[in-house]
Amino acid sequence: MDHHLQDHIDFCYQLKWDGVRILCHMSAGQVRLWNKRQHERTIQYPELQNLPRYIKGSTAILDGEAVVLRNGKPSFPAIMSRDRCLSVTRAAGQKPLHTVEYMIFDLLHLDGQNLTGLPLAERHRLLEDRFYPSESFHLVEDFAQGTLLFAAVKEQGLEGIVAKNRNSLYHPGKSHRDWFKYKNRQRCQAVVGGYLRSGSQIKSLLLGLFQGEQLVYIGKAGSGLNDRERADLAQELPKLNMDSSPFINLSRKARDVNFVHPLLVLWVEFAEWSDDLRLRDPVITGFSSQPPEECHLTDLSD
């Protein structure tokens, strides 16, 4: 099977959840959590301490994604906000803003037995036999037809799908050809908070989204603008110039960077969010009449 999406009898297809990859280590009724970089995340997701109620076994290691669902769709900025800030909110005695759910797609150890040498289909069978779904814990569903699933993903504006070889063993890391990701490009409305020049030309725009009343920098984009749009921006943006940065997380002013009052809104298409909340492979697709203060980091539905 190559990298072009096609239905294949040896593969199953799953939704790609736009969340944080989390390994759950369950033992003696306690749960410890680790992200894909092997950094502990136990304190960030206290809801996952309830996992032993829904697993038939004394010890287990599960692989899955922690997600925040907003209007039925996963929000990567929302889960990253929890991933970074929960310890601060807990220390302040505040309730977390978003409820986390755990999407389980693999079972690696069970009752002291290492399952990573078993085929994926067998690991899934054991997981289905030992797991009880609940409101916060879900078993990721397998589909036989990836082409139909991807069409539905595109229609719903979801992140993408993963194709997995049913006979594959569990391989940590990315250097294998048993799992393939097929991503649906996303889009959002972003606020222009600055620009970079190359001589008299606009090179790229600095983009942000509001979190409360604060503008968060999410990256820069220049692709997608035609010559006329660049000329118009070069004439109009300097009228909005300001001395200080409008972004809460971008204060230094590099050479050829100009900050502007955040009044202009654009449509941006992008591949995905990076872990540090930057748009990957952004392309500007148009201008928007959306009020800038309504472009929120944790509410990215169209």
Q: Round the CA-based radius of gyration of the chain to a whole number and report it.
A: 22
For residue 16, indicate whether it is catalytic: yes
The DSSP output letter for 143 is B
- In angstroms, the CA 220 to CA 202 distance is 12
Pick the catalytic residue from 16, 73, 154, 164.
16
Q: Which two tokens stand for residue 147?
A: 């082409």
Strands 59-67 and 69-70, by their bridges, are: unpaired
> Helix, strand or coil for residue 137?
strand
Q: Which two tokens stand for residue 120?
A: 């994926």
Q: For residue 86, count other CB atoms closer than 10 A to its CB.
A: 20
How many H helices and E strands in the chain? Answer: 4, 20
DSSP for 102-115, written as a single string: EEEEEEEEETTEE-
Q: Which two tokens stand for residue 104?
A: 């389980």
Q: Which two tokens stand for residue 142?
A: 């397998």
> Helix, strand or coil for residue 242?
strand
Contact 215, 262 (CB under 8 A): yes
Q: How far apart, in Å, are the Cα atoms of 126 and each of 51, 56, 262?
A: 16, 10, 53
- In angstroms, the CA 160 to CA 171 distance is 21
- In angstroms, the CA 67 to CA 74 distance is 6
Active site residues: 16
